[in-house]
A and B are shown apart, each in its own frame.
Chain A
Amino acid sequence: MTATLHTLPDHPALWRGDGVAAPQLPGIPTGFSALDVVLPGGGWPVGALTEVFAAREGVGELTLLLPALARLAREMRWIAFVAPPYLPYAPALAAAGMVLARLLVVRPASDAEKLWATRQVLASNACNMVLAWLDTTDASALRRLQLATEQSSAAAVLFRPARLAHQASPAALKLYLERGDGRLAVHVLKRRGARLAGPLLIDVPRPLPTDVVARDLSAQPAAAGISAWYA
């Protein structure tokens, strides 16, 4: 009796709550080992949706993706940006190691077209990672997107407004990003596996404070102040 009870946790049909579900495909390594260990598949999920919510634009939400993008680029893979909110700045992307020759920037006009374009990119199997900026709250559209992702061998990362972070969605992974302690705090809102106790603090590369840290600008008279600044 006792022996049976002891061996019970090892029974193959029993799923233990502290584990991480094994995905069918290995993920794309994020380039941040702290993040890789908590993600099923050891990286950005392939064949499943990932949702990223940033507390504010500029916390380092795209920087978090850059090592994976650079890695795919080195492997001659294609990457697509669907409906980026601003101009993806070529010099900065190139400096981060992305190969722009294999980047596709798609700018659909309407929400429906954004979803359509994302699905097309996934269905084509031409790109290995799709980053899409979607504002839609349409749950069935997201489900269709998840289905399209399951059919493809690509990783799909959706950037969505932070206010939608706690809405139910078919995504396999949901991350909420904010700054904390001078680092990027990654809250794993949902993953295939047990919940994490707290946020992960990750050092994403940031433009370092260089030469001059701003002094009291107000003290200087407007036009003359500029020449004095460099004098």
Chain B
Amino acid sequence: MWLAIYLPNLPLQVFQRGTPEAQPLAVAEHRRIVAANPAAQRLGVRADLGLASALALAGVGTTASASAPELIVRTRDRRGEDIALREVALWAGQYTPNVSLDSPACVLLEVQASLRLFGGADALARRIDDDCRDLGFAAEVAGAPTPLAARWLARAARRTVITDEVALKQAIDRLPLDVLDCAPEVMEMLLSIGALSVEDCLRLPRAGLARRGAATLLDSLDRAAGRTPDPRPWFVPPPTYSARLELTVPQTRIETLMFGVRRLCAGLAAYLAGRHAGVERFALRLEHEDLPPAELVITLGESSRDEVRCTLLAREHFARIELAAPVRAVAIAAKEIRPLALAAETLFGDMHKHTDQVSLLVERLRARLGREAVQGLQPAADHRPEHAWRHAEPGPAKRAGALPALPRPLWLLPQPRRLATRENFPCLETPLRLVAGPERIESGWWDAPGATEARRDYFIAAGSADELLWVYRELTAPDQWYLHGIFA
């Protein structure tokens, strides 16, 4: 059982999938229009038109066009089409492992083994049709027992899934000839003798057709009907993921870029789902017109293939950056693809889900505020107060330091603040009362001399509002008092 995903107007689609609104767009190759979207067709631009006539029709460059949306003509990007087709093939790996590329615009899936899981061929075809929109592609999906018949049916936009031989023969017979993609001279020959559909062809004498150069056509008809075998090479997914999305016109707005990024993330998530894998980070490359591309690395906090998480974090990264120039294309790349163990649902509690929420929160905050701005804390074994703690990754601590025996303030000043003194007593606006102490801390002499060595007497001091502060004086300079902490 084969399903064909045919991408009609792929030359157009590669330029359109990244932007929500449809501007008049035409794709040209060798100065001739090969495809035009409906908006462009309304301007009179259609395939096979010369580039100059198309531009004249759309009034590009004349004052008359000021009010009308301007026609955009892009040069056909065959490599981009090939990349897009591969992206669809990678994406389709979530439905079946047996995927075959059928260039230029079709992906074939052998789905016999997946039918039960997805509730039958019809349901699967509908689902593929729906899901494909997340990627930004409009697809025609059709099914048949042979790959070629499936492609032809999809190409003819017959949204059917055919399972038995008799129905297959009938369906093939009714197909118009142009979906068969045969050579132009054969096509011309057939039209000149009045054959318009496959049925007309089959009625003609076989030997005569073969003699008139239509041998390949007969061969394809045999393969489509299942009379001769039609082996297909399987598409082997690469070990790393990459996809690229070209924008219709260079964009500066983050919202528009996010539209494309969502589609790229949908592709990545589907690829990972097909491999039962996850990634910890992926990269987005923003390609500019003249400047070198900018790269954003998006860290997911933990191995994941959650599309929502990917787009969410990408959005945070975008909110932080300044676009140097309009973005022409966005590419996504994920290198370290790891198998992802599925979390089994526990009977009680959702501890795993909760940890997941925390790691997502941490990554969201870090994406916007920077990595350093979100930290955990950990006590450290050192007598010097400023060294008795350190930043740690949020989450379970490796080891806990010993707890201090004497009171410690909840706030520590990042830098001890020199206090004014009055008659050798420290002052903070008003003189401070020393209520406890001293506690001598003399440590760190082994560190670089002078830099971090501490030789101090600590006191707890009370201020005018009876607030408690942690102050010290240097042993070497007892008249110099410093504020080091607050008992908040």
Of the candidate stretches A108-116, A138-146, A194-202, the one touching chain B is A108-116
Asked if B377 and A93 sit within 8 Å, CB to CB, the answer is yes
CA separation between A125 and B285, bound complex, in Å?
Answer: 32
CA separation between A223 and B474, bound complex, in Å?
Answer: 10
B464 and chain A: residue at smallest CB distance = A56
Asked if B389 and A104 sit within 8 Å, CB to CB, the answer is no
Question: Told that A78-B354, A126-B361 touch, could you supply 9 new A-B pairs with CB distance under 8 A?
Answer: A55-B465, A59-B467, A87-B411, A88-B411, A100-B377, A101-B396, A108-B369, A117-B369, A230-B440
A221 and chain B: residue at smallest CB distance = B478
A interface residue count range (under 10 / 10 to 19 / 20 to 34 / 35 or more): 35 or more
Of the candidate stretches B30-38, B156-164, B170-178, B400-408, the one touching chain A is B400-408
Asked if B488 and A207 sit within 8 Å, CB to CB, the answer is no
Contact with B along A48-89 (1 / 0, CB 8 A): 000000111111111100100000000010100000111111
CA separation between A209 and B433, bound complex, in Å?
Answer: 12
Q: Say yes or no for A92: interface residue by CB 8 A criterion.
A: yes
Asked if B362 and A104 sit within 8 Å, CB to CB, the answer is yes
Asked if B410 and A56 sit within 8 Å, CB to CB, the answer is no
Asked if A100 and B378 sit within 8 Å, CB to CB, the answer is yes
Asked if A108 and B404 sit within 8 Å, CB to CB, the answer is no
Asked if A212 and B437 sit within 8 Å, CB to CB, the answer is yes
Residues of B within 8 A of A93 (CB): 377, 410
Q: Say yes or no for A8: interface residue by CB 8 A criterion.
A: no
Our pick among A89, A121, A127, A230 for the contact of B411 (Cβ within 8 Å) is A89
Minimum distance in angstroms from A16 CB to a CB of chain B = 38
Our pick among A56, A89, A121 for the contact of B408 (Cβ within 8 Å) is A89
Minimum distance in angstroms from A171 CB to a CB of chain B = 20
B401 and chain A: residue at smallest CB distance = A91
Residue in A86, A90, A95, A182 with the greatest tally of chain B CB atoms within 10 Å:
A90
Asked if A105 and B411 sit within 8 Å, CB to CB, the answer is no
Asked if B377 and A63 sit within 8 Å, CB to CB, the answer is no
Asked if A206 and B468 sit within 8 Å, CB to CB, the answer is yes
Q: Say yes or no for A5: interface residue by CB 8 A criterion.
A: no
Asked if A105 and B478 sit within 8 Å, CB to CB, the answer is no
With A101-B376, A217-B425 as known contacts, state yes or no: A120 contacts B361, CB within 8 Å: yes
Our pick among A58, A108, A127, A218 for the contact of B486 (Cβ within 8 Å) is A58
Contact with A along B379-392 (1 / 0, CB 8 A): 11000010011101
Minimum distance in angstroms from B486 CB to a CB of chain A = 4
Chain B positions 360-382 with a Cβ under 8 Å from a chain A Cβ: 360-362, 364-365, 368-369, 372-380
Contact with A along B39-52 (1 / 0, CB 8 A): 00000000000000
Minimum distance in angstroms from A87 CB to a CB of chain B = 4
Contact with A along B454-487 (1 / 0, CB 8 A): 0001011001111111000001111100000111
Contact with B along A193-231 (1 / 0, CB 8 A): 000000000000011111111100110001101100110
With A93-B410, A100-B379, A108-B373 as known contacts, state yes or no: A210 contacts B463, CB within 8 Å: no
Chain A positions 17-43 with a Cβ under 8 Å from a chain B Cβ: none
Asked if A113 and B414 sit within 8 Å, CB to CB, the answer is no
* 27 contacts across the A-B interface (CB closer than 8 A): A56-B465, A57-B488, A58-B488, A60-B487, A62-B488, A87-B411, A87-B413, A88-B412, A90-B389, A94-B379, A100-B379, A100-B400, A104-B376, A105-B374, A106-B373, A107-B372, A107-B375, A113-B369, A116-B368, A120-B361, A125-B357, A207-B407, A212-B436, A212-B438, A214-B437, A226-B475, A230-B440
Residues of B within 8 A of A116 (CB): 368
